[in-house]
């Protein structure tokens, strides 16, 4: 991260935190109406004091008897007192905000395109090998309690590994994927949905299905079978989001039967699938970009939003402001050498 972007990210995080605040007792925030009254009273008192001081033309003796107080210290002490009142009132209203909480369990199905277009070398060493390496890294980063399944997708689709906690078996299955003819993306989604049904039940809650998600990596256009849009609609009905990854470049090609065939990425179809299923769309043109995409997906799949009370944080800020205000008041009354 560059030094210039760091403040922007800090500001963005702070804005995200405060924009998501809600209160369990919002009526208590009415106490804050006294803040403008206190500010007005302070300003009025300061002006009256200044007018009284102007009555004396010779204040040199007063400066000796009564040392002048620092204006900025007095203003700072008042400002800190007001900040303490604001933050303590906010804490009194029991603020809550949305935070990312790690999921205890989930099932993720990886659907990897194994069609012949994946042998294109626009992504070194080729699309399929680069995709395998990134997928293995993704699986290794998932929590141990996550069931993971792998589906190989070409003209025919198959579940290479049903949902399992043995992530090493998943990695071996990914590395075993071989190129095949044609592409059936709709069938690949249907097969992934079937794999989700095979996920082990939670022994403590056998009737509650674990949260599921499909990660679909493909570079080509659907060539046969069911329409991918229909399969994506079924996934949405089952509340299974599809995270699509359009992998490759517009300049990719493969040599088949002595002819060079361009194999550009069908980004439009991948976007449609993600949108229809209420998932997210990503694109990657290099192995590094693909690893970044998988990191983003891991964050999305591995966490869920939950409300968390942040009363203690605001109370802590309020206490800190109160201590600083007290120190400021002490400094005003103290005689420094």
Q: Cβ atoms within 10 A of the Cβ of 202, count?
A: 13
pLDDT at site 189 = 97
Picking from 86, 84, 79, the residue whose alpha carbon sits closest to that of residue 29 is 86
Q: In the structure, what pLDDT confidence band is assigned to residue 4 with cuts at 50, 70 and 90? A: very low
Position 2 scores a pLDDT of 42
Looking at residue 220, what is its pLDDT?
A: 75
Whether the predicted model's global pTM rises above the 0.85 cut: no
Task: Write down the domain spans for the chain.
Answer: 5-98+309-333, 103-285
291, 301, 297: which is closest to 136 by C-alpha?
291
Residue 8 has pLDDT above 50, yes or no: no
Asked whether residue 204 carries a pLDDT value surpassing 80, the answer given is no
Determine the pLDDT at residue 62: 47
Q: For 159-169, write each residue's pLDDT tens digit.
A: 999 999 999 99
**Confidence bin at 188 (pLDDT 50/70/90):** very high
Q: Is the pLDDT of residue 41 over 60?
A: yes
Between 100 and 71, whose confidence is greater?
71
Q: How many CB atoms lie within 10 A of CB 105?
A: 16
153-180 mean pLDDT:
95
What pLDDT is attached to residue 237?
A: 95
Q: What is the mean pLDDT of residues 90-98?
A: 85
Closest CA to 157 of 193, 108, 129, 127: 193
**Residues 6 or more apart in contact with residue 197 via CB below 8 angstroms:** none
Work out the average pLDDT over 277-292: 93
Number of Cβ atoms within 10 Å of the Cβ of 75: 13
pLDDT value for 120: 94
CA pair distance 145, 29, nearest whole angstrom = 42
Q: What is the pLDDT of residue 6?
A: 43
Q: What is the mean predicted confidence (pLDDT) over 105-118?
A: 93
For 218-245, what is the mean pLDDT?
93
Q: Which residues pair with 180 in a beta bridge?
A: 115
Lowest mean pLDDT among 64-68, 148-152, 163-167, 170-174: 64-68
pLDDT, greater one: 143 or 216: 216
Higher pLDDT, 8 or 103: 103
Task: For domain 103-285, give the CATH superfamily.
Answer: von Willebrand factor, type A domain (3.40.50.410)
Residue written as token pair 């990191």: 295
pLDDT in tens, 56-89: 555 555 455 545 556 777 888 888 888 888 998 8
308-323: per-residue pLDDT in tens?
788 888 889 888 988 8
pLDDT reported for residue 55:
55
Which range, of 21-30, 104-113, 179-188, 197-206, averages the lowest pLDDT? 197-206
């Amino acid at each position: 991260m560059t030094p210039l972007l760091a403040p922007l990210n800090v500001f963005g995080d702070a804005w995200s935190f405060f924009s998501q605040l809600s209160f369990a007792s919002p009526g208590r925030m009415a106490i804050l109406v006294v803040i403008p009254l206190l500010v007005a009273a302070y300003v009025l008192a300061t002006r009256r004091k200044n007018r009284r001081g102007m009555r004396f033309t010779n204040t040199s003796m007063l400066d000796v008897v009564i040392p002048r107080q620092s204006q900025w210290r007095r203003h700072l002490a008042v400002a800190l007192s007001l900040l303490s009142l604001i933050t303590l009132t906010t804490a009194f209203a029991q603020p809550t905000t949305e935070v990312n909480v790690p999921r205890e369990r989930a099932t993720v199905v990886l659907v990897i395109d194994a069609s012949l277009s994946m042998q294109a070398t626009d992504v070194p060493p080729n699309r399929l090998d680069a995709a395998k390496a990134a997928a293995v890294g993704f699986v290794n980063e998932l929590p141990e309690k996550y069931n993971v399944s792998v589906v190989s997708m070409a003209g025919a689709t198959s579940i290479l590994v049903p949902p399992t906690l043995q992530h090493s078996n998943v990695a071996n299955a990914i590395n075993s994927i071989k190129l095949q003819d044609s592409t059936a993306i709709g069938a690949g989604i249907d097969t992934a949905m079937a794999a989700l049904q095979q996920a082990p039940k939670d022994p403590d809650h056998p009737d509650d299905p674990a949260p599921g998600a499909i990660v679909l990596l493909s570079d080509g256009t659907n060539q046969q079978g069911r329409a991918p849009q229909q399969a994506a609609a079924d996934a949405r009905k089952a509340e299974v989001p599809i995270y699509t990854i359009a992998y490759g470049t517009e300049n990719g090609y493969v040599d088949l039967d002595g002819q060079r065939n361009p194999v550009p990425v069908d980004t439009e179809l991948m976007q449609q699938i993600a949108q229809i299923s209420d998932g997210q769309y990503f694109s990657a043109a290099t192995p590094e970009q693909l690893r970044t995409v998988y990191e983003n997906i891991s964050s999305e799949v591995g966490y869920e939003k939950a409300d968390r009370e942040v009363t203690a944080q605001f109370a802590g800020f309020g206490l800190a402001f109160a201590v600083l205000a007290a120190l400021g008041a002490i400094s005003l009354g103290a005689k420094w050498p």
